Chain A
Amino acid sequence: MKTVKLAIFIGLFFISGLAGAAALSSYTFADQEEEQAFRELTAKIRCLVCQNQSLADSDAELANDLRREVYALWKEKKSEDEIVDFLVSRYGDFVLYDPPLKPSTYILWFGPFFLFLLGGYILSRTLKSKTEDKEVELTNEDQQRLKTLLDDDNENQEATK
């Protein structure tokens, strides 16, 4: 029973891989390299219907249409930037998995580094104050107080004996 389940699982695994490959099968390319480049470009673009799938993988109707448009531009020898601009001017930066660097995305790009530095600063300050604590010298007043406290304690202990 276990082997059957495993076989089914492995079978499905390979079929799911084929589904992704089928998305590009209707297009013709001069060579493997060109196909690879086209796949890489479409893998950078988000399918707006099934948002966690790229244009290279998605079988949604809209993804099909957009792939057709991208392929047409590709065959016109448009540059990658021009093709990306075509999509961004219609669907916004959201079609790109990689958000572009601009003022509205600064917090996205630099936020983690800022938090990292802030964390480092807090850590170093905490460590420093901890080591400083150890080197605190007691004033005469403190010494006096410590002595009385310890004496009290000793007396109590003797009382319990």
Chain B
Amino acid sequence: MIEESKTPSRMRYLIPLFLFLIMAGFLLKGLFMDPRHIPSVLINKPAPEFNLPTLYDPEKTVSKESMKGKVWLLNVWASWCGACRAEHQVLNTIAGMKIVDIVGLDYKDEAVDGKRWLKQLGNPYTEVLVDKSGRTGIDFGVYGVPESFLIDGEGVIRHKFTGPLYYPDIKGTLIPLLEKIKEGAK
């Protein structure tokens, strides 16, 4: 009688340990999560409207409407942004692969600095737009450069890269997404 009632009560003392392990599991996961990475609310939603002058010809403007029918990568960068420098080589590589049009958005930057940057590091962009006030950046929910948005032919944002693009992102994320968009368009 006594032995029998002992076993379940002993197990009961282990409950706090299990609860602790569950909590520790969540906390351990939290250690590897980046609080700076805020999920975008704009994924699978139409890109915000914009109409911006280009860097090399301020008279010419590019709008969301004029990009319709194209799959393109909007890359938000600035000459004052350190991480963008590292990312630039990746962008050059993507441009060389000719898999997607990359449109640059020179964010809160001086035109002179932006032009010098592209002269030094190469220009992977089919078009460079200028967002001097940062207003378009706000519409895209930009909170730190660099950020990149993959936009499909319908003008819908399909993916957001927060922070710099790395070489593994090309094969790991960008190419599969481009294939998916192509399949969907058929």
Write the residues of chain A forming the contact surface with B, with a CB cutoff of 8 angstroms. 48-49, 51, 61-62, 65-66, 69, 88-92, 94
Contacts and interface: CB of A to CB of B under 8 A. Distances in A.
B141 A90 contact: yes
Given A65-B137, A89-B41, A92-B39, 13 more contacts: A49-B144, A51-B36, A61-B108, A62-B134, A65-B133, A69-B135, A90-B42, A90-B48, A90-B140, A91-B38, A92-B40, A92-B41, A92-B141
Contact of B143 (A48, A88, A89): A48
12 contacts: A49-B143, A49-B144, A51-B35, A61-B108, A61-B134, A62-B144, A65-B135, A69-B138, A89-B41, A90-B42, A91-B143, A92-B141
Q: Which secondary structure characterizes the binding site on chain B? A: loop
A69 B140 CA distance: 14
A69 B135 CA distance: 9
A65 B41 contact: no
Interface of B: 35-36, 38-42, 48, 108, 133-135, 137-141, 143-144
B138 A88 contact: no
A48 B38 contact: yes
B60 to A, nearest CB: 25
A90 B136 CA distance: 11
A91 B35 CA distance: 14
Contact of B138 (A51, A66, A92, A94): A66
Contacts of A92: 38-41, 141
Q: Which secondary structure characterizes the binding site on chain A? A: helix
Question: Counting chain A CB atoms within 10 Å of each CB, which of B38, B139, B140 scores highest?
Answer: B38
B143 A65 contact: no
A100 B35 CA distance: 19
A61 B35 CA distance: 19
Contacts of A89: 41
A134 to B, nearest CB: 15
A61 B132 CA distance: 13
Contacts of B42: 90
Contacts of A62: 134, 143-144
Given A88-B41, A92-B40, A65 B144 contact: no
Contact of B41 (A49, A51, A69, A91): A91
Contacts of B137: 65
A44 B40 CA distance: 20
A69 B138 CA distance: 9
Nearest to A65: B134
Given A48-B38, A51-B35, A65-B134, A91 B141 contact: yes
Contacts of A65: 133-135, 137-138
